[in-house]
A and B are shown apart, each in its own frame.
Chain A
Amino acid sequence: GAVVSQHPSWVICKSGTSVKIECRSLDFQATTMFWYRQFPKQSLMLMATSNEGSKATYEQGVEKDKFLINHASLTLSTLTVTSAHPEDSSFYICSARDLGGGTQYFGPGTRLLVL
C-alpha cells in the first residue's frame, strides 16, 4: 500500500530554534498534503493544506509566519516551526492524498519537544 514517511520521527530542541519536518510520499505522487497537530488526549487538528506549487492554506488560528510550509514537489512537503516555544511541543502528523484525489495516507508523525 501507499507509504508516507516523516523525518525526523522525534526531535528535542531549545526554545527559540527552528525545526524542519519533512513529509514524503514514497510510492505515489501527492498533489495535496495536509499537516495536523495533536496534543495529548486530544484530536488531530488540521493546521494547513498544501498544494504542490502553490501557497498553503492555513486554518484559522494557525500562524503562517510561524509554521512555514513548502510543497515544492509532488512527493515532498516540509513544515518548519520557526522560533519554537514549549507550547509548540506536540505530535505533528502529515497526510498525503494521491493524484486521484481519493484516500489520504498518514505519515508516522513527528514528536516535537521544545525545552
Chain B
Amino acid sequence: RKEVEQDPGPFNVPEGATVAFNCTYSNSASQSFFWYRQDCRKEPKLLMSVYSSGNEDGRFTAQLNRASQYISLLIRDSKLSDSATYLCVVKGNNDMRFGAGTRLTVKP
C-alpha cells in the first residue's frame, strides 16, 4: 500500500465549478499535512497546510480527519489558473511523503 494515495484524475471542470480532491495516508503517526500545487515541469509549491479544525484560504478549503487518515481539498469558483497537479503531502518526524497528485484542468 502506498504511504499517500490520491485519485490521479484527471478532473476536467468548467470555470466556476467546485471541485474536491481526496487523499488518504497510511502512517497514523504522521504529524503534519499539506497540499502542494505543481505546474507542468515546475517544482511543487505550498498551497496550504491542513489542520484538524479545517482551514480556509480564499477559494480553497482543506480538511483533515485523523481518525480516518483522510485529507481533502475543496476549490470553489475554479479559475483557469487553477489548472495544475495537486499533491497531498504528509510529514512524519523528518521527511515529507508525496502522493502521486491529482491533475486538474479548468476549461473556459
List B residues 67-108 near A (Cβ within 8 Å): 87, 94-101
Q: Is the CB of A34 within 8 A of B95?
A: yes
Residues on the A chain within 8 Å of B46, using CB: 103
- If over half of B's interface residues share one DSSP class (helix, strand or loop), that class is named, otherwise mixed; here it is loop
Q: Is A75 interfacial (CB-CB < 8 Å)?
A: no
**CA of A32 to CA of B101, assembled, Å:** 25
Q: Is the CB of B95 within 8 A of A106?
A: no
- Kindly identify which residue among B43, B94, B99 contacts A109, using a CB–CB cutoff of 8 Å: B43
Q: Is the CB of A109 within 8 A of B42?
A: yes
Q: Is A104 interfacial (CB-CB < 8 Å)?
A: yes
List A residues 97-115 near B (Cβ within 8 Å): 103-104, 106-109, 111
* Minimum C-beta distance from B88 to chain A (A): 9
Q: Is the CB of B45 within 8 A of A43?
A: no
- If over half of A's interface residues share one DSSP class (helix, strand or loop), that class is named, otherwise mixed; here it is strand
* Minimum C-beta distance from A52 to chain B (A): 14
Q: Is the CB of A107 within 8 A of B96?
A: no
Q: Is A46 interfacial (CB-CB < 8 Å)?
A: yes
Q: Is A25 interfacial (CB-CB < 8 Å)?
A: no
Q: A34-B96, A49-B95 are in contact. Are A43 and B42 (CB under 8 A)?
A: no
- Kindly identify which residue among A32, A44, A49 contacts B98, using a CB–CB cutoff of 8 Å: A44
| Chain B CB within 10 Å, residue with most, of A45, A91, A104, A108 | A104
Q: Is the CB of A43 within 8 A of B98?
A: yes
Q: Is the CB of B99 within 8 A of A43?
A: yes
**CA of A104 to CA of B4, assembled, Å:** 18
Residues on the A chain within 8 Å of B94, using CB: 32, 49
Q: Is B16 interfacial (CB-CB < 8 Å)?
A: no
Residues on the B chain within 8 Å of A91, using CB: 41
